[in-house]
Amino acid sequence: MKRSPLISLALLVLVAAVLLAAPAMSQQDMTTVPTEGFQKTTRLPVAFAHDAHNEKAGLTDCTACHHGEKDGKRDNTADTAGIPCSDCHTAVAAPGKTPLMRAFHRQCMGCHMTQKKGPVTCGDCHKPAKK
Ligand code: HEC
Ligand code: HEC
Ligand code: HEC
Ligand code: HEC
């Protein structure tokens, strides 16, 4: 049976839409950690080639960074990959909650210090991203 031209056209539009949306959803192109959650910034955005970093560091478990929330507490079993940290950690946080800058610093530097690998000084993170 031959497909109607209308259905073929609909399929073509769908395929095009998926292809166009792909780069926006991919973290492969990420070269710096986004700063959208901060009202103003005083430092250079942090150089962070998402996929290359995680490959070098041997991080295959997304929850190593993208954890979730359960009953107001951190849930390390929930995978929130793709959700910005700032959805849960605001620049100015409620008492007892971790504000955005501290969330990033604790997560990034925390691991680098435990593993004794990766940058721990200001200028080694807040620097121009590699092209
Ligand atoms: C391991 C990497 C790392 C190190 C080391 C680090 N930072 Fe950051 N910092 C981040 C990340 C990630 C963010 C949030 C995203 C961004 O700014 O690109 C951030 C955000 C900030 C912000 C808020 C955003 C802005 O630009 O105002 C300030 C201020 C800041 N860092 C200062 C410092 C200072 C001062 C030091 C050294 C004492 C330092 N950082 C060391 C990773 C790092
Ligand atoms: C070393 C920490 C780390 C690991 C491990 C990690 N990510 Fe991320 N990822 C980040 C950070 C930091 C951001 C930026 C968060 C923000 O915008 O607040 C991010 C953003 C993303 C984004 C959004 C991209 C964009 O352009 O907005 C996606 C999708 C994503 N990560 C998927 C994954 C997946 C899938 C895995 C596991 C295979 C993973 N991440 C593992 C740190 C990590
Ligand atoms: C779905 C919500 C949610 C998302 C998304 C999320 N977190 Fe959290 N995070 C929490 C909750 C809840 C806690 C525990 C309460 C608190 O400290 O604010 C927590 C705690 C933390 C802590 C522990 C602070 C400490 O003092 O030990 C760090 C570090 C952290 N988050 C970093 C991040 C980073 C970096 C990202 C993004 C890659 C992120 N979080 C994404 C909800 C979230
Ligand atoms: C769970 C552990 C872990 C976390 C979390 C983590 N890193 Fe790393 N990072 C590493 C390791 C391990 C290395 C060293 C990799 C190697 O052998 O070169 C590294 C290296 C780096 C390097 C230098 C190598 C490169 O890719 O350019 C940068 C920059 C860096 N990390 C930034 C960050 C930032 C920014 C964050 C937070 C958003 C972060 N890291 C979170 C483990 C981690």
pLDDT, position 23: 46
Give the number of whichever ligand sits closest to the CA of residue 35. Answer: 1
Give the per-residue SS3 of the chain.
CCCCHHHHHHHHHHHHHHHHHHHHHCCCCCCECCCCCCCCCCCCCCECCHHHHHHHCCCCCHHHCCCEEECCEEECCCCCCCCCHHHCCCCCCCCCCCCHHHHHHHHHHHHHHHHCCCCCCHHHHCCCCCC
pLDDT tens per residue across span 41-98: 999 999 999 999 999 999 999 999 999 999 999 999 999 999 999 999 999 999 999 9
pLDDT, position 27: 84
Q: Which CATH class is domain 27-125?
A: alpha beta
What's the gap in Å between 112 CA and the centre of ligand 3? 17
What's the gap in Å between 10 CA and the centre of ligand 1? 46
What's the gap in Å between 103 CA and the centre of ligand 3? 6
Q: Using CA positions, which residue lies closest to atom 34 of ligand 4?
A: 108
Instruction: Compute and round to an integer the Cα radius of gyration of the chain.
Output: 19
What's the gap in Å between 50 CA and the centre of ligand 1? 16
pLDDT, position 3: 67
Give the number of whichever ligand sits closest to the CA of residue 117. Answer: 4
| AA identity, residue 90 | T
- pLDDT tier for residue 113 given thresholds of 50, 70 and 90: very high
Is there a contact between 103 and 89 (Cβ–Cβ < 8 Å)? yes
**Could you tell me which residues are beta bridge partners of residue 73?**
70
d(CA 90, CA 122): 21
89 lines ligand 3 (CB under 6 A): yes
Look at residue 22 and tell me whether its pLDDT is greater than 60. Answer: no
* The ligand 2 atom nearest the CA atom of 29: 26
Query: Does the predicted TM-score (pTM) go above 0.85?
Result: yes
Look at residue 130 and tell me whether its pLDDT is greater than 90. Answer: no
Look at residue 10 and tell me whether its pLDDT is greater than 80. Answer: no
